[in-house]
Amino acid sequence: MRTLIAFGGNAMTGPGGSATPQDQDTAVAEAMEHVADLVAAGVDVVLTHGNGPQVGNLLVKNELAAAVVPPVPLDWCGAQTQGTLGFLIMDALDRSLAQRGVDRKVATLVTRTRVDGADPGFARPTKPIGRYLPAGEAAVLVEHGQIWEDRGERGWRRVVASPEPLEILDAPAIGVLSDAGYVVVAAGGGGIPVVRDDDGTLRGVEAVIDKDLAAALLARSLDVDVLVIATDVDHAILDYGTDRARPIGQVTTSEMRAHAADGQFASGSMGPKVEAAVRFVEQGGTRSVITSLQRIGDAVRGSTVGTVIENT
């Protein structure tokens, strides 16, 4: 059974979102303990991850140095964080597997995701990223070609496109590595956004790809059986924040679509996870599960923990 596990970028940070190198290393090591248990049990695992906090740190460095050196574009930020987090994951998982006496190798692949250059998001960017800045500091970055919006008392904030992922370009290489017995870390942060020009060449673009939607696309590309979206709660919740709040257990795709249509899932948090999980099953996956990092083992083994989405 091949399983793709998608970790949020916050799973790679310490308490309260601390992103010091030590806290990130510790958090990754804890996450990989759960993955190592699955690999030791014979599960064929592919990993992907978010990178929001890590890219956020790079954006702060961009802002602080903008008057001295040109800011690094978002596609470069994505590539850098794929490499850094992949390195941490490989070391931590190698160590955990060795402790269990498991001889499996781990590889990280810098991964590109193709998007449409005509996606409406590029014409009118709406995805906010990074910090709020005073008008003067934002103006320096606008001079470098970035788009910033005045958000009133809080200051100015950068907005970028968040286009639909269309193709994981390096999925064939991921599949070859997985078939050869590697645990593969790929498509971090949703993949590095690239577009294909009229002459067939590829180029990176300034955009943010939703990592859960990219995970569903990657899972379909690899003929994965189970997609697990690891988050900070055991289940998706109906009527969240009210006295009627209740967890969603086993559910069909149509039922989950109905809940989403009722506005049950916030667009900036649970919404993309639900959309990705439903898409995967609708397009041929056996099942998808939304649950906490600590429960991923149970989720993969077919337990009813978490929000389990199937067609039947």
Catalytic (active-site) positions: 9-10, 127, 211, 273
Q: Which token pair is 238?
A: 């109906």
Provide the 10 A C-beta neighbour count for residue 12: 26
Task: Yes or no: say if 34 and 5 are a contact pair by the CB < 8 Å rule.
Answer: no
**How far is residue 8's CA from residue 93's CA, in Å, rounded to a whole number?**
17
**How far is residue 259's CA from residue 221's CA, in Å, rounded to a whole number?**
27
H-helix segments, the chain = 21-40, 52-65, 74-99, 120-123, 135-142, 171-179, 211-221, 253-261, 270-282, 296-300
Q: Which token pair is 86?
A: 């992949």
